[in-house]
A and B are shown apart, each in its own frame.
Chain A
Amino acid sequence: MHGFHSTVSRRDFMKTLGLAGAGIGAAAATLPVFHDLDELMSASQAQHKQPWFVKDVDKPTIDIDWSQVVRSDKRINGHDGIPYLAPSGGWHATGDRIASYPGGDANRKPAEDYIKSKFPDWKGDTLRDQALRQTVWTVKRTPTPFVCSKLTYSPEEYGLPRYEGTPEENYIMIRNLLRFWGGGKIGVIKLDQDTRKVFNANSSNKDIVFEDVDEAYETTTKTVVPNKNEYLIVALFTAQTVLGRRWPSLQSNAAVMGVYNFLSWAEGNLQEFLHGIGYEANIVDNITNSEPCGLMAGVGENVRMGYTVVSPETGAMARCVLRVITDLPLATTKPVDAGLNRFCNTCKICAEACPYNAIVLDDAPSWDNAAIPGSPPGFNGWRLKAMSCAHCGSACQAVCPFNAPRETWIHSLVAPTVTVTPVFNKFFADMERTFGFGMWEPESFWTEEEQPIFGYIGGILGN
């Protein structure tokens, strides 16, 4: 009868219980419970890990000839060192629709025609679409000053020495903080003679100059970047997917500016945090070009859309790029290769979608910048026909195949396959078209029964 109910003796049971208890105790002791910042920064489990198929590489997936790269001058060029076709503004109501023409923004018509070609039942943007679009301006954006406002106490004010950590520890600390503030993929570049060319030569009618000074400062004629602030922190901020996938409807513009609000909040916080631990930080979004920063820091690749950093984790939903320089020593990151740039050779879905024909349909990237007015020299990559781009907000980004949040097993298979071999790229792009992936119907935003919190679909944040 001894073994009738159980084949485990009481002694074995107690022994097992002891082992299990020890196991649970050991597991509890090793679980990450953060008590202070020192623990947060050293928590290996909090590290962002890129998918296994994304490779760190020594050079970006496009060739860059830094000797040919010139610092852009925003007195001549617009966004990201390029001129663009700015919407002319002005709106005109027709019935219950906010029509952008006649009498309004004629540049908007191609975008509207594009949406109608995809969704014939869509009649145009409505009053609530326009109202949603305008909400992004109702909250004052967090100021993002180049020179720190010093709102946090410095270590000197406490009578303490500044925080010291190894570059690796500091990198993990910054990465954990930026993830906490909504950042996606995070990288660091150590600025040198070449990479300083990501800084504009002139912005807001001020010359951007590097000097051996202790603190950054601005005058009416120049913005002075301290040479000692040689670490450039780069982070991707992802547009809210539920509206990002509905670009270029008017409502979806709320996702464009909405994520810029998150960005401002995060970089302001980061700047003040670094001041609080004894270091200087300068927000340089407005005086650097985003794409080369993103490429060199390894947060994404150059793609057919040009001037858009597409990441293997968040696809083309990554809308803006945080750029902050600091004198905090940081471990640097490498560029990445996830096969994205190569996939663009055959895909062309974004170019077909562009209502303004601003994206080239070539079969390979090019060194030739002369063929595209306003395009910068010095790299063998994809270039946007910026003079044609209306910043519709953005049809191209909404349809990029890399936006797939990998909820289906087939998407989980496609992403690594693209990295390993280009053989199936055309087939994958054709399937993307056939299966009807791409833009979502705009009006359905108002009728769907449940939306994800903050409009982010799980997985698209690269978690």
Chain B
Amino acid sequence: MLWFFVGFIVAVVVLLLVSWLKNKNIKLVWYEWVIGIVGLLLILAAIQHYAGALREGFAKAALLGSLSFGIPAIVLFVVVWQLISRRRRAQT
């Protein structure tokens, strides 16, 4: 059930993001897609680790593991955002 909701939320977020990028006429360079997808995979890894470690009975491991994967994911998203915004600023 968890993965049904995760899949649903990811699909909605990706759809909204792509639609927003189109509306704003923003085009991503290939490596920005790669960084973004790696970030998304890390987020999914963090969620799986959190849920799995709780099932294994280790709350501390759940928290530490999800932070270990989640923080790099957020850093990657920030990197993509900065790459896009700096490129657009340079264009205007």
Which residues of A approach B to under 8 Å, CB–CB? 245, 404-405, 407-411, 434-437, 440, 457
Contact = CB atoms under 8 A, between A and B. Distances in A.
A408 B60 contact: no
Most buried by A among B57, B60, B65: B57
Given A245-B57, A437-B58, A408 B64 contact: no
Q: Which 3 residue pairs spanning A and B have beta carbons closest together?
A: A408-B52, A436-B60, A407-B52
26 contacts: A404-B56, A407-B53, A407-B55, A408-B48, A408-B52, A408-B56, A408-B65, A409-B48, A410-B49, A410-B65, A411-B52, A411-B56, A434-B64, A435-B53, A435-B58, A435-B61, A435-B64, A435-B65, A436-B60, A436-B61, A436-B64, A437-B56, A437-B58, A440-B57, A457-B55, A457-B56
A252 to B, nearest CB: 14
A134 B81 CA distance: 62
B45 interface: yes
A26 B34 CA distance: 44
Contacts of B53: 407-408, 435
Nearest to A432: B61
Most buried by B among A404, A408, A409, A435: A408
Nearest to A441: B57
Interface string B41-67: 000010011001101111011001100
Contacts of B55: 405, 407, 457
Contacts of B60: 435-436
Most buried by A among B56, B58, B60: B56
Contacts of A409: 45, 48-49, 52
- Per DSSP, are chain A's interface residues mostly helix, strand or loop, or mixed? loop
Contacts of A405: 55-56
Contacts of A410: 49, 65
A435 B67 CA distance: 11
Nearest to B48: A409
A436 B58 CA distance: 7
Contacts of B48: 408-409
A162 B61 CA distance: 55
A404 B53 CA distance: 9
A275 to B, nearest CB: 42
B8 to A, nearest CB: 20
B72 to A, nearest CB: 14
Nearest to A408: B52
Contacts of B61: 435-437
Contacts of B64: 434-436
Contacts of B56: 404-405, 407-408, 411, 437, 457
Given A436-B60, A436-B61, 17 more contacts: A245-B57, A405-B55, A407-B52, A407-B53, A408-B56, A409-B45, A409-B49, A410-B65, A411-B52, A434-B64, A435-B53, A435-B58, A435-B61, A435-B64, A436-B58, A457-B55, A457-B56
A411 B62 CA distance: 12
A437 B56 CA distance: 9
A435 B66 CA distance: 11
A410 B57 CA distance: 15
A436 B56 CA distance: 12
Contacts of A434: 64
A408 B54 CA distance: 9
Nearest to B53: A408
A409 B57 CA distance: 15
A42 B58 CA distance: 41
A245 B57 CA distance: 10
A419 to B, nearest CB: 20
Contacts of A457: 55-57
B1 to A, nearest CB: 15
Contacts of A408: 48-49, 52-53, 56, 65
Most buried by B among A245, A410, A457: A410
A404 B55 CA distance: 11
A112 to B, nearest CB: 22
